[in-house]
Structure 1
Amino acid sequence: MAAVAAAAEEDVIIVGAGQSGLAVAACLSLRGVRALVLERDDCVGSLWRKRAYDRLHLHLGKKYSALPHAPHPDSAPTYLHRDEYAAYLDGYAARFAVRTRLRREVRCARYDRATARWEVEAVDLGTGGQTERYMARFLVVASGENGEKFVPEVPGLEAFPGQVMHAAEYRSAEGMRGKAVLVVGSGNSGMEIAYDLAAAGAVTSIVVRSELHLVTKEIWSVAMALYPYLPAWVIDKLVLLMCAVVFGDTSRHGLRRPAVGPFTMKLTTPAYPVVDVGTYAKIRTGEIRVLPAGVKSVRGNVVEFGDGKRHPFDAIVFATGYRSTVRQWLKSEDGLIGDDGMAARSYPEHWKGENGLYCAGMVRRGIYGSCEDAELIATDISKLLRPQQEQGNGF
């Protein structure tokens, strides 16, 4: 039986050392509140280091991708590369003296009404499984939506003779020249991986079942700049006008736009616009084939699709996203976190639950949303702690 360490008392426990967890910890630090961040991986910002392809750059300009109180320098490129952003997160954690315990996998967190504390149990993966216990007045869920890879169940996939991988494992198209590669999933990762493959000489196909909004980085930067000044429906009209000029009618090539505008969709649903990195040009020239039906089954190296068509492939990349694992360890039924492990309530009422429970970056609003959540949470916690601190100082 694994040893159990004595409980450590903290003011705030933050689960997850990605951009959201680091932002909350920094904002708390600036308000004089100590917090401890528990992270399953062996580094901060592990998504950028360990689950991102080599060519990845941020789709938002540096103005919208900086964490609170640490803007990117003027010398930084407008759109940071994956490695540059990972280095920025390292520097951010150091600058604000963020206390982290890495290789700690949280297995259980429950609120004890008798002590008015959150009891958190975490396994130290670095020591082979010692269980550590923590007590905290406040608990912040900041582990994001990328807890575990999601790959749909496909009959026959286990016998596919070629390479099968999730987008989290894809780094580059090395060794794919001349091979027939299927990309399943048409979000930002799927579309960019398809481009990367085609540019390297792979015979590339991509499954596009859902409607999507295709934009450019420049068009989306205009939309972000207009957001404080114009209603979403006006921004939608301007964005779609610019897209019509740049792309024309994308439905002619299998990319159907939703009836809901791109900015309204971003604000009200989990769906993001797809930022084009050159994929659409290759779709128009036929270098990337769009397949409109989902994968139904696999027999040998032949994939059968929902419309009955069959095509042989040498490799398959599933750009099918992730699932949150929060519901596996958070023992709370106060309605803050939904069955999918994400925020149950929509923006802007999503971030605060009961008994000192909060969530950051759990409403699918990207880096910009993580910053807003961090400031709200840190302000609220510091106000709740201040009467206790003043009483302890004899005020």
Structure 2
Amino acid sequence: MSTHSEQESLEPAATLWRDGRPVYDRGDTICVIGAGASGLAAIKNLKEYGFGVDCYERETGVGGAWNWRHDRSPVYASTHLVSSRPLTEFPDFPMPDTWPDYPHHSLLLSYLERYADHFDLRPHIWFGTEVVRVEPADGERWDVTTRSTGGYGAERTSRYAAVVVANGHNWAPKMPAYEGLDEFRGQVIHASAYKDATQVRGKRVLVVGAGNSGCDIAVEAGQQAARCWHSIRRGYWYLPKYAFGRPADQVGHAAAALRLPLWLRQWLFHRALKLTVGDLTRFGLPRPDHRVYETHPIVNSQLVHYIGHGAITPVPDVARFTRTGVVLTDGREIEPDLVVLATGYLPRFEFLAPEILGTDAAGRPSLHLNMFPRRHPTLAVAGLLQPDAGLFPLVHWQAVMIARWLRLRELAPERARSFAARIAADTGERWNSAKVKESTRHWFEVGHVEYLRAVQRTLDELEVAA
């Protein structure tokens, strides 16, 4: 395959124009935005279905969120998987059997780099190139405007047959608005800016938020800080990483795959927790206001350990900040040197007009299978999921589905129109047997077994002989 510089020199002069700017026609080529795990899976599977692919990656390497060198990466030094290796690996590219059950982030990056090399994906990627705009064009095609990352050089617009958006949804921090925060004289950072334990060592630290990152950071602060408070807004169920001698997610996967009813799975889980951890309220943690599986699982074997040893002090939600401290909702005031806001992330698609993805006022897109917008059949989003297991297997089959869908449009237009009508009529199914809490954190929450079954039904519907 020719290099990008060779392609560019061979490419004819622009024959299309849009708003006075030249547009370079890429024919039947598909554009993929982002070279993280989701983008790599999209390139690989589109390529296997015979499509030409151009991928634009704003950073200088693959890996997305798992590449700690990237500015937008939320990874910190001690980050490990919270889903086990067999439920995280791509189905056609297994991780080495010698790797631990929960690999370190450096292993995940090496895995994605080897995936890119094994399937020869790098020649399709324009590194150091960010997407500025994605606009509908004639014939259900798309004009994609790019420029060098950082805004250097001229913009360039290319026309593509379809676009796969794979820019991730864990890079734009969700910052809460607290009264008095601007006047607080201590240091405040979002969890995305936390990189290693030197940032908390010897300080009085308040960690706000009880997601997986918040719990990990609280555990590190409990070991390294002079004092650690952990502000928890509501009660959660804390899953140990191991249950019955196996990674806990594998136990949960087996129960879901056996189609055990939700009430029975919940009963088994609550029974196991009662026998092992006991009543969490005796540690000062709030009582959960929901049953297990109704929020995203918190996988942490160490939080209760360090709370039980007095290294972490659970406290309620933040009411407001003062110049020197933080007032909690129970009236107590504490004086941290550092506040870490582990308050999550919001999806950002700044290169797309909100109406294209059916985005509401809160910023939540409306997509069939969390992938397909209702009125734009040649646009798809990959990886916009928050599963109760690893993401990579799900995004692999999403990418296969996208490739089959685009091929079906060519080979069986009547069947394609039927599927497009179903996309347009989507009623917002959640693919989770539990009634999940309504919050930004759970916008994309899915039960991985239920979601994969829905994907399999769709793959069967889209299958067509080449």
> Which is worse superposed, 24-33 or 365-374?
365-374
Q: Which amino acid aligns with 2:24?
A: A
Q: Are 1:243 and 2:263 an aligned pair? A: no
Query: Residues 179-190 of structure 1: matches in 2 within 5 Å?
Result: 179-190=203-214
Contact 2:205 2:225 in 1 (8 A): no
Q: Which amino acid aligns with 2:97?
A: D
For 1:257, the equivalent position in structure 2 comes to 288
Contact 1:58 1:80 in 2 (8 A): yes
Q: Which amino acid aligns with 2:163?
A: L
Change over 3 Å in CA distance of 1:84–1:257 after alignment to 2: same
Change over 3 Å in CA distance of 1:34–1:244 after alignment to 2: farther
For 2:372, the equivalent position in structure 1 comes to 352
Query: Residues 109-148 of structure 1: matches in 2 within 5 Å?
Result: 109-112=134-137, 114-125=138-149, 128-148=152-172
For 1:20, the equivalent position in structure 2 comes to 38
For 1:34, the equivalent position in structure 2 comes to 52
Q: Which amino acid aligns with 1:371?
A: H
Unmatched tracts of structure 1, length 5 or more: 266-270, 389-394
Give the Cα separation in 1 of the matches to 2:56 and 2:360. Answer: 22
TM-score by length of 2: 0.74
Q: Which amino acid aligns with 2:288?
A: R
Query: Residues 1-395 of structure 1: matches in 2 within 5 Å?
Result: 6-9=23-26, 11-50=29-68, 51-98=74-121, 99-112=124-137, 114-125=138-149, 128-174=152-198, 176-218=200-242, 219-230=248-259, 231-252=261-282, 253-262=284-293, 265=294, 271-299=295-323, 301-326=324-349, 328-331=350-353, 333=355, 338-345=360-367, 349-353=369-373, 354-365=376-387, 367=391, 368-386=393-411
3-state SS of the aligned residue for 2:330?
A: coil
Give the Cα separation in 2 of the matches to 1:53 and 1:104. Answer: 25
Per-residue CA shift, 1:7-50, capped at 9, x if unaligned?
Answer: 25152111222211111111112222222222222322231223
Q: Which amino acid aligns with 1:53?
A: Y
3-state SS of the aligned residue for 2:115?
A: helix
Change over 3 Å in CA distance of 1:273–1:134 after alignment to 2: same
Give the Cα separation in 2 of the matches to 1:302 and 1:90. Answer: 44
3-state SS of the aligned residue for 1:132?
A: strand
For 2:444, the equivalent position in structure 1 comes to none
Q: Which amino acid aligns with 1:22?
A: L
Contact 1:180 1:312 in 2 (8 A): yes
Change over 3 Å in CA distance of 1:183–1:129 after alignment to 2: farther
Percent identity over paired residues: 28
Give the Cα separation in 2 of the matches to 1:203 and 1:352. Answer: 47
3-state SS of the aligned residue for 2:120?
A: coil
Change over 3 Å in CA distance of 1:351–1:55 after alignment to 2: same
- 1:333 positional shift: 3.0
Unmatched tracts of structure 2, length 5 or more: 1-19, 69-73, 243-247, 414-465
- 1:277 positional shift: 3.4
- 1:160 positional shift: 3.3
Per-residue CA shift, 1:228-261, capped at 9, x if unaligned?
Answer: 2124333222222222222111133214224233
Give the Cα separation in 2 of the matches to 1:227 and 1:164. Answer: 41
Q: Which amino acid aligns with 1:7?
A: Y
Q: Which amino acid aligns with 2:309?
A: T
C-alpha RMSD over aligned residues: 2.5
TM-score by length of 1: 0.86
In the comparison of the two structures, how many residue pairs are matched? Answer: 375
Change over 3 Å in CA distance of 1:49–1:255 after alignment to 2: farther
